[in-house]
């Protein structure tokens, strides 16, 4: 299995898990909508596998990782819940980064193979 396919699956799984955990933790109030709506913007591009969306979504996840780490430090009663959510967001950040890097290498490899095949066909 290609590394980019694995990273894409982990990204989608962690993205939906992050949305579900935020909804479960905050209920259906205004704070939940303020946290979930930004996560809905990259969803169509992630589902379609658009490389550009995977690249810019990493910038969005930094706020969730940092925000939940700070919330866990500020509120010791919910420390492990916040750190768990931050870990899910960090997992998504890493899988997004791995996808972008692996996809660019795979695209370069397939381009080189294609050019090699074309030159081999023209050689005889």
Identify the sign of the CA torsion 14, 20, 24, 30: positive
Over range 101-109, report the average pLDDT.
88
On the question of pLDDT at 123 being above 80, the answer is no
What string of H, E and C letters represents the secondary structure of 16-60? HHHHHHHHHHHCCCHHHHHHHHHHHCCHHHHHHCCHHHHHHHHHH
Name every residue whose Cβ is closer than 8 Å to that of residue 25 and which is 6 or more positions away in sequence.
81, 85
On the question of pLDDT at 48 being above 70, the answer is yes
Report d(CA 23, CA 37) in Å as an integer: 11
On the question of pLDDT at 124 being above 80, the answer is no
Higher pLDDT, 95 or 109: 95
Q: Which pTM was predicted?
A: 0.86
């Amino acid at each position: 299995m290609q590394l980019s396919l694995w990273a894409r699956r982990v990204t989608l799984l962690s993205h939906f898990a992050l949305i579900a955990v935020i909804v479960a933790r905050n209920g259906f109030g205004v704070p939940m909508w303020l946290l979930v709506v930004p996560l809905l913007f990259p969803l169509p591009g992630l589902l379609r596998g658009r490389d550009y969306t995977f690249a810019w979504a990493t910038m969005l996840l930094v706020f969730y990782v940092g925000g939940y780490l700070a919330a866990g430090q500020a509120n010791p009663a919910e420390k492990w819940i916040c750190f768990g959510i931050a870990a899910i967001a960090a997992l998504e950040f890493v899988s997004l980064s791995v996808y972008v890097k692996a996809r660019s290498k795979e695209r370069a490899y397939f381009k080189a193979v294609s050019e090699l095949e074309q030159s081999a066909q023209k050689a005889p």
